[in-house]
Structure formats: C-alpha cells, structure tokens
A and B are shown apart, each in its own frame.
Chain A
Amino acid sequence: MLEYENALKCITSGKCLTVYLEGDIDHHNARTVRSRIDTKIYIQRPEELILDLSRVNFMDSSGLGLILGRYTKAVELGILFKVANPSPQIRKILDLAGTERLIKIENIPLREQRMY
C-alpha cells in the first residue's frame, strides 16, 4: 500500500514498513525527516523497519546520525531494523562508522523492489 505520511514515502507490506529516503540528507533537513519517520513508527508500530537509500543523492554525517538514531529507536521499540540500497559513496560513510556491526545492510535487486 502506497501512502504519503507527511511527505514521507513509504510502503507497508504486512508488518514491514519500508521508508524511501530521497534527495539530500544533511543537517538542514535531517530533523524534519527524523520526526516524520518517528511519527510514522509510533503510529504504525511495525515489526520491521527498512530505510531504503536508493533515492538519496547526497548524505553526510548528519544522515549517518539519522540512521544510527533510527536504529537506536527501533531497538528500544523492539523493531527489526535494516538499511537497504546505499550508494557506494554512502556505503563508505556507513563503513567508516562501523555501522555493519550493528545494522544489517541489504542490497535489494531492483527487480525485487516494490515499485510505486
């Protein structure tokens, strides 16, 4: 089911919520994106949360903070957390912070992605 929750693009499939982040994730917009995601997960209480990064053009350490912060929130709420489809550039940032020790990072082939 496709829905726009405060301009947040997400798809719910069973108990799994996939959020598609878009554009630039920097300090300027991280706070807005953060509160949109948190509102969504508090209302919906999914069992699994996937942050899909395939549409993110640019991300810096503020995006890293956003991802790690959502991971912490998910752990608190007992939600399984994954990151999907980071670009090679974003992957470098995630690896520098040792993110893969905490968070499952998946590359979902395009043909298996649910499109909207």
Chain B
Amino acid sequence: MKSTVVNEVRLAFPSVSANEAFARSAAASFCAQLNPTFDELSDIKCAVSEAVTNAIVHGYRDALGEVQLSMKITDDRVFRAEIKDKGCGISDVEEAMRPLFTTDPENERSGMGFTIIENFMDSLRVVSAPGKGTRVIITKKLSMLPRVKG
C-alpha cells in the first residue's frame, strides 16, 4: 500500500557552519509531531548533522553555496530527509561511503560520517557526480510504542 505524505518542509540556507546546529534542531522539531523516542530523535539529529556538515565542508569546501534540506513524514511514520548541495560532487560514491574513508584527514576528519548515517537510519542513498553536486536521501521508520501521557 502506498503511503501518503502527512507533512513536509523545505529549508535552504548558506553553507556556514552555524547552520549545522540549526539544521539538526529543525529536523528534531519537525519530527516531534511523530512523538519519537529519545533515541530515534538523537539518531535523526546526528544523521542530518552529518549530511549537512558534509555539504558544507566537502561540497562547498572554501566556497559559499546553498544547502537544501527537505523533510517529509508519511502516514506510515516514516521520516525522510534529502540534503542537497550544488558543490564539487563525489567521483566514487562507493569509496566515499566506506568506513574511515576521508579526503580531509588534515582537519581531523575520521571518515565515519556516512557509516554513522547508515547505522542510525534505515536507509541511505547518495546521488552524486563530479561538478554536479550531491544529494543524500535518508529515511527512518519511527516505532509505535504505547506511550504514557504525562
């Protein structure tokens, strides 16, 4: 059965690092309507933070550009986010997604961003090509625990 979209939001902001905290807080606020668990919320915040940080530090490196964060929730309690940049792109996506792979070890990057996203979310898809920018699509289905109303 096909799910229907319950709510969606689109944000666009310049690639300045102060927006990393803004983006993950926005994701947490948007998810709140699904009444997620603390762990689910933490996972989503971290995954969004990873993808937005990658757009800022890798996609746009020393340049300034626009980062887009589109989020959706469907009636089957699936959260979906797309993080998009029009930056340098990735030549070998499979290699980039490998644990510990980084093109930026000088700045103490550990190459674990994609690995963290993969572990914290249900799905991760990376669409990218050199000079064509990068789209990162992540989803997570939230649990349906009976909750005590406070």
Contacts and interface: CB of A to CB of B under 8 A. Distances in A.
A65 B108 contact: yes
Interface stretch (A22-30, A74-82, A106-114): A22-30
Contacts of A58: 24, 42, 45-46, 49
A96 interface: yes
B53 A62 contact: yes
B20 A26 contact: yes
Interface string B23-37: 010000000000000
Interface residues of B, number: 27
B39 interface: yes
Contacts of A34: 108
Interface in A36-56: none
A60 B116 contact: yes
Contacts of B123: none
A69 B105 CA distance: 10
A60 B108 CA distance: 13
Interface string B106-139: 0111101101100110000000000000000000
A116 B70 CA distance: 43
Given A26-B49, A28-B17, A64 B57 contact: no
Interface of A: 24, 26-28, 30, 34, 58, 60-62, 64-66, 68-69, 88-89, 92-93, 96-97
15 contacts: A24-B21, A26-B17, A27-B20, A28-B17, A28-B18, A58-B46, A60-B50, A60-B116, A61-B113, A64-B112, A65-B109, A68-B110, A93-B116, A96-B99, A97-B115
